[in-house]
Amino acid sequence: MNLLNKVLTSYDRRIVTFVLYISIHRKDTYRVGKFLTIAYRLLDELLKLVSYRKSFLHNNNILSAKQSNGFTLVELTVTTMVLGIIAAIAAPSILTHLARMEAQRVKHQLENTLSLAKAESYISRQDVLVCLSNDAQQCHRNSDKTLLLFVDKNNNKHFDSQVDTLLTQQSLNLRYSTVKLRVGGRRHYTKFWGDSGRPRGHFGHIKYCPTSSYNKSMYQISFNQSGIVKHKLNADHPTKCNG
């Protein structure tokens, strides 16, 4: 039993060393792949310890045949505690990574939709509208659930499924941010004219603003009178998310 206690003491030191290593060396740019490699090593050490304990106790006629097929309460408690520590330490880095991925995804969605609006209006010779909506029908400047691109046949500046032609509908699925459409005249939409494919009089930008402390991204997707779409970082063009 003295030998077993020594092994457990050694294992406790491994846990402490591991936790200290993560706490000291983890940064906001901590890579998930590197973290998982270390976690796998720790779990491998745990499995080796369990195997050793079973073998040791079996050889000393302490563990019955039925008990040797599972974990003991102590092993289960230690495992749960270690995984809890790992999750608590890794969570900020994982959430930061997910927020960064969201910012990139929304950027591509906005750029592609605006570029498609310009091309579709010019090719079809029809006026097309781009707007944000919460119910996939009513357009609003501060809606942030759905991005709509459609031909507004009844000219009411909202999407009516029975009348208008839907060209694309994109769910934004925002968890760490919000978006806002800002067009001249406080319009809740932007129009690309069919005679030129340009949003003359309807140019502006869509703001991407963080709503979580894990999200550090802030930018604009702008479209000028010529319909040219640009990604503008907050450092170069202040986004002014409060406005």
Domain positions in the chain are 2-70, 99-233
Across the chain, mean pLDDT equals 80
What pLDDT, in 10s, does the model give residues 186-236?
999 999 999 999 999 999 999 999 999 999 999 999 999 999 999 999 999
Extract the tokens encoding 149. 């691109």
* Distance (Å, whole) CA 82 – CA 84: 5
pLDDT score at 88? 77
* Distance (Å, whole) CA 193 – CA 219: 26
Say whether pLDDT at 49 is over 90: no
Most confident of the following: 44-48, 71-75, 91-95, 140-144: 140-144
Taking the CB of residue 113, how many other CB atoms lie within 10 A of it?
20
Tell me the average pLDDT across 79-84: 79
Q: How confident is the model at residue 90 (pLDDT cuts 50, 70, 90)?
A: confident
| Sheet strands side by side (includes 165-171) | 165-171, 146-151, 128-133, 190-192
Greatest alpha-carbon pair distance for the chain in Å reads 90
pLDDT score at 51? 65
Say whether pLDDT at 2 is over 70: no
Amino acid 99 reads A
Give the global pTM. 0.68
So what CATH class is 99-233? Answer: alpha beta
Interstrand relation of 190-192 and 177-183 (parallel, antiparallel or unpaired):
unpaired
pLDDT score at 58? 58
